Amino acid sequence: MADGLINLTIDGAPVSVPPGTLVIEAAKQAGVLVPHYCYHPGLPVAGVCRMCLVEIEKAPKLAIACATTVTEGMVVKTQTAPAKDARQGVLEFLLINHPLDCPICDQAGECELQDFVFQEGQARTRYAEFAKRFNPVEDFGPDVLYVPNRCILCTRCVRFMDDVAKEPVLNVSERGDRAFIGIHPEARLDHPWAGNVVDLCPVGSLLSKDFLHKARAWELDKTASICTGCSQGCNITLDTRDEVVVRVRPRPNLEVNRYFICDHGRMHYKWMNRGDRIEAPLVRRDGELKATDWDEALARVQGILRGASGKAVALVSAGASSEALALVKRLLSGFSWTGAFQIVMGEEAPLAGVPNLALRAERAPNAKGAENLGYTREYTQALETAKSAAVVLVLDDSECAVQTNGALIYLGTVLGEDAACRSAEVILPIANVAEEEGTFTNRDGRDQRYYQAKPAPGMAQPAAWVLSELINAMGLAVAAR
Amino acid sequence: MSTVHDTTEYQPVFVGKVMEELQTVLPRYPNKQAALLPALWIAQREHGWISDHIMAEVAEVLGLTPAYVKGVVTFYTMYHQHPVGKNFVQVCTTSPCNICGAEDVLKALLSQTGAGDAGATSADGKWTIVEVECLGACGFPTPVIVNDDFIDGVTPEKVADIVKKYR
Amino acid sequence: MGYPHKPHPKETVVLSQYFGDADARTYKGWVKRGGYEALSQALKMEPNAVTDIVKESGLRGRGGAGFPTGLKWTFMPKEKKKAHYLCVNADESEPGTFKDREIMRWTPHALLEGTAIAAHAIRAEVAYIYIRGEFTEPWTIMSRALEDANAAGVFGGIKVYLHRGAGAYICGEETALMNSIEGKRGNPRIKPPFPAAAGLFGLPTTINNVETLAAVPHIIKRGAAWYKGLCLSNPKSTGTKLFSVCGHVQRPGNYELTLGFPLKNLLYDMCGGAPQGRTIKACIPGGSSVPILTREESEATLLDYEGVVAAGSMLGSGGVIVFDDSADMVYQIMRLARFYAHESCAQCTQCREGTAWTTKIMERILAGQGKTKDLDLLLDLSENMTGKTICVLSDSCAAPIVSGIKKFRGEFEAYLAGKKQPVMVG
């Protein structure tokens, strides 16, 4: 214990962890996943499901790994007969009232009850002659449905609302096998972070109405991404089915969002599937916008840039990647450059039980990245400057109401019929956050990467590609060192 | 899982003397949450049963959420979650009393009061009779509690007098 | 005292001396009988000195666990850094047990005195007496006694409060009791932490049973050696115990006996054996949560902690439930299983589902629809329910099942073979 670590053995593998570590966490170091339900690293320990019972040498009874702290020289065994029998017992007890809903249950394929039953449960039930307990489905609020029949009373949802959201709106009601998760009739589960109970639920008892019956878990492709709902930079997973984003889930990051995302971010994905996209580059010919190919479009932009001098204004979205923002600046490096963005603000909604985690007032993911690169929030001034600028480049800001005597170049995903930027010389279709790889800098200055979850529609390309092509063509690339 | 709602307009319980009474209880505990069980007893005494409105009022008075209070109320069997008859009768039928004829006492009470089934309220609203677990009077079978009166040694023969006394 | 009967000559009357004596309930009456002398003596002593006496006496927890009381008190921090609490467990709900109610009904001041001495010994400034909600008469009597004791100023600085339960057997478990006082669902807590480290409101706490504390003033007054001397068998089991005898005996009631007393003598000499014309068939010696003994086993049992273990059961709460040959063991075991199913708090999977499943199987056997493999199923479920949960309610449901099937298998098989009239259970 010279380095302050505790040494123990788990299933024969030596493990060294800091004092105070729970056996269930120490086991991860040995590559051992101790089956469990009620335990969750983001919640206070409950010790109620009894699934994580393990054998500890010299201890008179099996102990729950989620509530046992490591001691020097401890020998833990998870695969001995008593431990496996205990787990099989728990699984059998859980299944006697659990309905055989797998064919219609959203959780199938990502269900911890299925997983452990397959891994070490029994193939048949001994509870054949009795009726299962029945309670009707309950609507808990904005996005959450509660299916009491499937509930295994792990109480993760109650502990989340009590201790992490700090709004005790869920309870355990009744006693014994009559128990269920309750909510007071006058209350709704509308806390800004309540949707996390759906992720936390190990089975299909708490369900998202938004995701209800939308897709099967095994049909989903999962891609790591960063939420674009605000500047917190929560790590997320985009679940896509047939190249459509169908769900957002949190990705654990202990430094940023721990295990959670807010409901605003959770629902903030439908726009990624918009059908009304700009699908081809457009150039103005004879006063009208005409679809063309990338070669002509890029050549037109080059022509504009080479033929102009003086002021250039870049009006950008605070949701554009840092790469794209940097490249815009580089592209316009021959001009007297002003860069600005406008940002939608909303009400902040903290997750009370986690320090430095909230739905932030700034409803965009990369304001900090933009600021680090020299863009400012002086948007109105920039609009003023743009009027007499030689070149105005708008990056993914479809609401931009700019008017200019100079050349307007628009890079974006959508452009409404009446949008001001319809007067642009060139319109270039770009990928949205789900269709490219890039970097956002969150409000704490953390650079985080997001990845491509689905292909961009039509001829759209990542903004960073478009801008690099232009930069290379114009010989503005930074020389390799 | 349905809850029975008050249909009359809600009259708060914790006002005047009742609130004063609660104020004497609060200092016994280092926080308000610990006064929950005593507060619920007071509320049930005043209101007859613990409705969703009562739960919300108690929650507000003690700085808790209604959902939390409901979780506690539904745990303890002595808090009534729906109205009960004028006489609430508890009959023990756990094994020590069971082998001494407790079920016959229960049957006698159910039939002689007109309550019919255990848990139901008689048509005249005067009786609700429930089967309960061990009342801690096993040497004096069968114990029966009528409202707050704990009666030892009830036999089917004694039921008629009890019914007469409390009716 | 086989109260309501007069004390039997073979009883050792200590706690039950004033059972039935209404004057002893009053403050003045209690003082007249030498009450509160022990408390004023103890308050003049160092807390550790009080604990030493109780430790020396061999007093063990009378609620069911039998843990040495003095030793339990030593777990409390010796240095007073935070508030300490004493909780008195008057939740008496173990089927077959009815002793604490008599102590509270007849000698409320004995309990108050013992509470205050214990609070002093563990340096607690506040004591809560948790009385089950159904004990309306003990509540009234204890309230009055507490008022009088407070008015007389006997407690020194110690504050004693009554806290009323609301119908939950599980609140007799010490950690569930603390949660109940805190205004929560009566869920037992995982240990560690242990109450002496972090108990009520997260602070060092000791929980003691009513009968345990009622013995304390006697021990202080008459000395540890006297209490230790009250021993008929194993020296680790000293003092007297109130045995609550109920069921099929001619004279049910509370009998105060020196530990080590033969169960046979209690059943026959003192309680008169089974009613006329019937014979004792089975006996549960320590409340329904301990294994059932056959008549033969009971007749060979000495009533102390070690003696009952040697006989294959446990002393527990000392609630002696007697079944004669007219009792249907299968039905009664079903009724006990149903008790545990009603009282399960719902935290642990094995208990929540297992107690209900066990009850359902038992009901089906009684209804004439059981199969032979049901007995193996019951035993297997009982094993899955034993030693794997936060508290022992789950194990307690298994105890009558396992011992019942083992020792009264014939009665089960009679139902399985269709030889008994089916019983439809509601």
Contact flag A175-B74 (C-beta cutoff 8 Å): yes
Question: What pLDDT digit, counting tens, does each position of C360-394 carry?
Answer: 999 999 999 999 999 999 999 999 999 999 999 99
Closest-CA residue of A relative to B55 is: A184
Surface of C (112-141) touching B: CB under 8 A: 132-137
- Nearest CB to A173; choose among B5, B52, B70: B70
pLDDT, residue A124, reads 86
Closest-CA residue of C relative to B118 is: C426
Give the pLDDT band of residue B6 (cuts 50, 70, 90): low
CA dist., res. B14 & res. B21, Å (int): 9
Contact flag A172-B71 (C-beta cutoff 8 Å): yes
Distance (Å) from the C-alpha of residue C66 to the closest C-alpha of chain A? Answer: 19
The answer to whether A219 and B87 have CB atoms below 8 angstroms apart is no
Distance (Å) from the C-alpha of residue C320 to the closest C-alpha of chain B? Answer: 9
Q: Which residues of chain A have pLDDT under 70?
A: 1-2, 479-481
Chain A residues lying within 8 Å of B66, measured CB to CB: 184, 186-187
User: Which of B107, B134, B146, B155 would best serve as a mutation to test chain C binding (most C beta carbons within 10 A)?
Assistant: B134
Closest-CA residue of A relative to B2 is: A185
Distance (Å) from the C-alpha of residue C87 to the closest C-alpha of chain B? Answer: 13
Tokens of A465: 């590609």
The size of the B-C interface in CB pairs under 8 A is 144
The answer to whether B116 and B127 have CB atoms below 8 angstroms apart is no
Q: Which chains touch B (3 or more CB pairs under 8 A)?
A: A, C
Question: What pLDDT digit, counting tens, does each position of C288-302 carry?
Answer: 999 999 999 999 999
Dihedral of the CA atoms A321, A324, A326, A332 (nearest 10)?
-150
pLDDT, residue A477, reads 78
Contact flag B68-A182 (C-beta cutoff 8 Å): no
Tokens of C331: 């039905």
Bridge partners, A412 (sequence order): A429
Bridge partners, C282 (sequence order): C294, C323
Give the pLDDT band of residue C4 (cuts 50, 70, 90): confident
CA dist., res. A370 & res. A317, Å (int): 9
Contact flag B66-A148 (C-beta cutoff 8 Å): no
Tell me chain A's radius of gyration from C-alpha atoms: 27
Output the DSSP codes for B94-112: SHHHHTTTHHHHHHHHHHH
pLDDT, residue C1, reads 44
pLDDT, residue C425, reads 83
Chain B residues lying within 8 Å of A167, measured CB to CB: 65
Helix (H, G, I), strand (E, B) or coil at B116: coil
**Among candidate residues A82, A79, A85, A86, the one with its CA nearest the CA of residue A13:** A79
Residue B45 CB neighbour total at 10 angstroms: 12
- Residue whose entry in the numeric block shows the structure tokens 């957002």: A248
Bridge partners, C280 (sequence order): C324
Distance (Å) from the C-alpha of residue B145 to the closest C-alpha of chain C? Answer: 8
Average pLDDT, chain C: 96
The answer to whether C248 and B133 have CB atoms below 8 angstroms apart is no
Could you check whether the bond before residue A103 is cis, i.e. omega within 30 degrees of 0?
no
Give the pLDDT band of residue C241 (cuts 50, 70, 90): very high
CA dist., res. C170 & res. A338, Å (int): 71
CA dist., res. A284 & res. C366, Å (int): 89
DSSP B157: G
Q: Which chains touch A (3 or more CB pairs under 8 A)?
A: B, C
Q: Which uninterrupted H or E stretch holds C302?
A: strand C302-303
Instruction: Flag whether residue C355 sits within 8 Å of chain A, measured between CB atoms.
Output: yes
Q: What residues contact residue A337 under an 8 Å CB cut-off, 6+ apart?
A: A311, A312, A313, A314, A329
Distance (Å) from the C-alpha of residue B158 to the closest C-alpha of chain C? Answer: 19
Distance (Å) from the C-alpha of residue A148 to the closest C-alpha of chain B? Answer: 10
Does this model's pTM top 0.90? My answer is yes
pLDDT, residue B9, reads 80
pLDDT, residue A479, reads 61
Residue C48 CB neighbour total at 10 angstroms: 13
CA dist., res. B167 & res. B86, Å (int): 9
pLDDT, residue C348, reads 98
Alpha carbon C273 to chain centroid, angstroms: 23
Contact flag B67-A135 (C-beta cutoff 8 Å): no
pLDDT, residue A3, reads 81
Instruction: Flag whether residue C345 sits within 8 Å of chain A, measured between CB atoms.
Output: yes
CA dist., res. C137 & res. C139, Å (int): 5
Tokens of C254: 């509370």
Tokens of A448: 């985080």
Could you check whether the bond before residue C4 is cis, i.e. omega within 30 degrees of 0?
yes
Question: What pLDDT digit, counting tens, does each position of B121-148 carry?
Answer: 999 999 999 999 999 999 999 999 999 9
Contact flag B74-A135 (C-beta cutoff 8 Å): no
- Phi/psi at C308 (nearest 5 deg)? -75, -35
Contact flag B138-C135 (C-beta cutoff 8 Å): no
- Span C130-150, average pLDDT: 98
Chain C residues lying within 8 Å of B140, measured CB to CB: 98, 252
Instruction: Flag whether residue A176 sits within 8 Å of chain B, measured between CB atoms.
Output: no
pLDDT, residue B10, reads 85
Q: How far is CA B105 from CA A9, B117, C117, C168, C332, in A?
A: 61, 13, 43, 23, 17
Surface of C (305-324) touching B: CB under 8 A: 319, 321, 323
Instruction: Flag whether residue B65 sits within 8 Å of chain A, measured between CB atoms.
Output: yes
pLDDT, residue B1, reads 42
Q: How far is CA A104 from CA A100, A140, A264, B14, C170, in A?
A: 9, 20, 27, 48, 38
The answer to whether A231 and A442 have CB atoms below 8 angstroms apart is yes
- Asked if the model's pLDDT at residue B4 lies above 90, the reply is no
The long-range contacts involving B6-12, CB below 8 angstroms and separated by at least 24 positions, are B6/B51, B6/B52, B6/B53, B10/B53, B12/B57
pLDDT, residue B5, reads 56
Contact flag B70-A136 (C-beta cutoff 8 Å): no
CA dist., res. A101 & res. A103, Å (int): 6
